[in-house]
Amino acid sequence: MPDSPVGTGSTSLVERRSIDVVPDSERHGTAFSQFTLWLGANLQITAVVTGALAVVFGGGPLWSIIGLLLGNLLGGAVMALHSAQGPKLGLPQMIQSRAQFGVKGAVVPLLLVILMYVGFFASGSVLAGQAVGELTHLGATPGIIIFAAITAVMAAVGYRVIHALGRVASIICALAFLYLGIRLLDTIDLGAVLSTNTGFDLPMFLLAVSLSASWQLAFGPYVADYSRYLPRSTSGKATFWWTLAGSGIGSQWSMTFGVLVAATSGGAFMKGQVSYVVGLGGAGLVASLLYFVIALGKLTINVLNTYGGFMSMVTSISGFRGQRTLSPRARSAYIAGIMVAGTVVALLGKDSFLTSFKDFLLFLLTFFTPWSAINLVDYYLISRERYDIEALSDPKGRYGAWRWDAFSVYVIGIVLQLPFLVTHFYTGPLVAPLGGADISWIIGLAVPALLYWLLARRNGGIPQPNTGEYPTAKGPSAP
């Protein structure tokens, strides 16, 4: 396949590139695009449910909101550091893992990432399916299927339509959530709600922190996918702050709304999350518009999940096949696979959504905090923002096929979290002495980061590129 496939120019709508480097001639946009994308991606019903979980599982409204804010800031900062990698390298997020785990070894975190995408696609489809089912009067199951098909089509079109969708969703969803917030505040006594159950409960507070931190950290494996087309000259600080602002504001806004809804619904919210939220806004035409907004918000994030899953699947397979580019037909096949898998999971799990989703978030956090720590330490402290792009596709190159030192740190990071982990199906032995608090994600970030840094220093650092120059459209990155 040629270096610049037909249709990859700056005016093309349909994207043709996959895991290959984006050359300078195709870079476009500004760092502000990350704000609108991530604001739109977080002003949506699943983020509302995530915030509500802090109250549903026993937290007080005030401390839940504060805990969610802290988690969004901490997790969002880590996520935004990954976003800043995109303009520098012009690569999807997970292919960078080859520099830490080896060209073939990166398949291990990649498989877990793919599982994450399928899970988020499924959980989003459950809620969006309710909205689409109400709009079309066909019911939840056909709604899930229709929503999944639309998601796949938009993901196949690619990067440009994803950012366009984010811009539209950021405006429409912001207006809708502002309206819903006003309606909610008209029906409740905010002061009385916030003064309910005001005693500080450390386990419940840390649950709130963990819920929002896991929400943000789960974006880490694909956030650079949506910044990699930015011009190479784009400021890393600007990319970081616009990403953090969009994701932090959007998620905190949605989650705070979720806390207040859950605290005042008397249990009705648990019986039908979408219908209850829409009912706050009104009936008739207003209700139809709100169902559309909910579907639009979920479409934004589910397209991201599908697109990220496609990238991760290609990265996994290409590490063994030496493949650097992908045909449009193969691209569509990968995306269809993500859609089918996510839809099946959604249909099977739609009746136990709330508990399953909480456990899914915390389970993911266990596996992705060590990966995130290793990736960020390697990129910012060891490799100093420079990778040998050619070697990322060569198992015999400087990064090798498998890097067992990184695997050792990764496994240690996972294992050390288990005694502190709290989920529906497993609770670690050190949770009770901490009063039931889940601090596993803190261990999963701090310990692997320190171990990897120490290991790299002992080994003289990970092999560096021969030059500090980044690849260009005519450079060694061309397939």
**pLDDT tens by residue, 55-87:** 988 889 999 999 999 999 999 999 999 999 999
- The verdict on residue 397 lying in a domain is no
DSSP 379: I
Residue 242: pLDDT band with limits 50, 70, 90: very high
- Mean pLDDT over the full length of the chain: 83
Angle at 57 between CA 54 and CA 59, to 5 degrees: 55
CB distance 41 to 176 below 8 Å: no
- The verdict on residue 67 lying in a domain is yes
- The verdict on residue 279 lying in a domain is yes
SS3 427: strand
pTM here is 0.86
CA 101 to chain centre: 21
CB distance 66 to 209 below 8 Å: no
Angle between helices 107-136 and 328-349 (to 10 degrees): 70
- The count of structural domains within the chain is 1
Cα 196 from Cα 167, distance rounded (Å)? 37
CB distance 158 to 334 below 8 Å: no
Determine the straight-line distance between the first and last CA of the chain, rounded to whole angstroms: 8
Cα 217 from Cα 15, distance rounded (Å)? 27
Domain hosting residue 130, numbered range: 24-359
CB distance 210 to 362 below 8 Å: yes
Check pLDDT > 70 for residue 206: yes
- The verdict on residue 104 lying in a domain is yes
DSSP 436: T
- The verdict on residue 402 lying in a domain is no
- The verdict on residue 14 lying in a domain is no
- The verdict on residue 429 lying in a domain is no
pLDDT tens column, 10-66: 456 777 777 778 888 888 899 999 999 999 999 998 899 889 989 988 889 999 999
Residue 388: pLDDT band with limits 50, 70, 90: confident
- The verdict on residue 140 lying in a domain is yes
Residue 257 is part of a domain; what is its CATH number? 1.10.4160.10
DSSP 85: H
Of 473 and 422, the structure prediction assigns the larger pLDDT to 422
Cα 273 from Cα 295, distance rounded (Å)? 13
